[in-house]
Structure 1
Amino acid sequence: MSDQPISMSRSGPPETVLPPVDVAITHKLKQALAATPHERRDAIAAVVAQHPTCLHAWAALGRASTPGIDAYMAFRVGYHRGLDQLRGSGWRGSGFVRWQHESNHGFLECLEGLAVNARIIGEESEAVRCQQFLIQCDPRGRG
């Protein structure tokens, strides 16, 4: 947990920005995304296996997975890893996690993918909670 205090201001709730993804990991992920469609998911999964804290990789794995339970699993793990990282960055369960910061995209994409795939597998209440949380994180959306 971060020792940094969360300050409130007249501008509203605090905002959390996750640290940027390491350049070397970003490069590996870009290479995996450039793989042939037949090899892409396995290539992304290899990046996730080597760098399981990389939220962008979890989001990419979810997007490369079959919609439904396979994508749900990847997005759910990425979402929970993201909650851990948010807490480590000083987030205390509320406040903005905005799309305008590229380093937040992995978490937000996992949350968004979890909402979509929860609905696909019939977890409607989870889908609604995730959608509401996504709006709370950034009411402006992707912009």
Structure 2
Amino acid sequence: MTIPTGPSADHGHNLLGPTPTLLPADPRPTSRLDAGEDPAAVAADHPTSSAAWATLAERALDAGETIAAYAYARTGYHRGLDQLRRNGWKGFGPVPVDHVPNQGFLRSVAVLARASATIGEDDEALRCRELLDDCDPKAAAALGVV
């Protein structure tokens, strides 16, 4: 999946609203994932990496393993929430999808939305879709959530 990267002039940021949360890069797991290493090994070595969990979730969902995808995505979502909170996020405000370090969290939320819808957990699917929209109005479309 290709997600636009780089600074964007429009994150839906209101000058009176919260500043966008931009997670710091973590090159250790990212470089391993980019090199095609097994995401399970990367997650085992870097369990706080939302990107590793998101990759596991996406692969499981693509393989029709919806429950595994749901579990991996939920782990990536919670690890991402921890990172966001450590970086000043208060549970609301922009989390731009075009900032690469944010993408592990947002990808996890997207898979959680899709897996939830597949198993009929419609309230969770809607909540995840709303979270994506609140984080960045472009996120859902960029991540294949309709």
Interval of TM-score (by shorter of Structure 1 and Structure 2): 0.7 to 0.9
**Is residue 75 from structure 1 mapped to residue 73 from structure 2 by the alignment?**
yes
Separation in 2 of the partners of 1:84 and 1:133?
15
Per the alignment, do residues 99 and 9 of structure 1 end up closer, same or farther by CA in structure 2, a change over 3 Å counting?
A: closer
Separation in 2 of the partners of 1:21 and 1:123?
32
Counterpart for residue 110 of structure 2: 112
Q: Of the candidates 110, 117, 140, which is equivalent to residue 138 of structure 2?
A: 140
Secondary structure of the structure 2 residue equivalent to 1:139: coil
Is the contact made by 1:62 and 1:71 (CA closer than 8 Å) also made in structure 2? yes
Amino acid across the alignment from 2:49? C
Per-residue Cα deviation, 1:74-125 (whole angstroms, up to 9, x for no partner): 0000001100100000001110001121110101000111000011111110
Q: Of the candidates 36, 44, 49, which is equivalent to residue 44 of structure 2?
A: 49
Query: Highest CA radius of gyration, 1 or 2?
Result: 1
Deviation of 1:55 after TM superposition, in Å, equals 1.1
Q: Of the candidates 15, 19, 22, which is equivalent to residue 20 of structure 2?
A: 15
TM-score normalized with structure 1 length? 0.80
Secondary structure of the structure 2 residue equivalent to 1:126: helix
**Unaligned regions of 5+ residues in structure 2, if any?**
1-12
Q: Of the candidates 83, 87, 99, which is equivalent to residue 101 of structure 1?
A: 99
User: How well do the aligned residues superpose, as a CA RMSD in angstroms?
Assistant: 1.9
- For these two proteins, the number of residue pairs brought into alignment is 126
Counterpart for residue 25 of structure 1: 29
Separation in 1 of the partners of 2:87 and 2:69?
27
Deviation of 1:30 after TM superposition, in Å, equals 2.5
**Unaligned regions of 5+ residues in structure 1, if any?**
1-7, 34-42
The percent identity for this pair of structures is 44
Separation in 1 of the partners of 2:33 and 2:116?
25
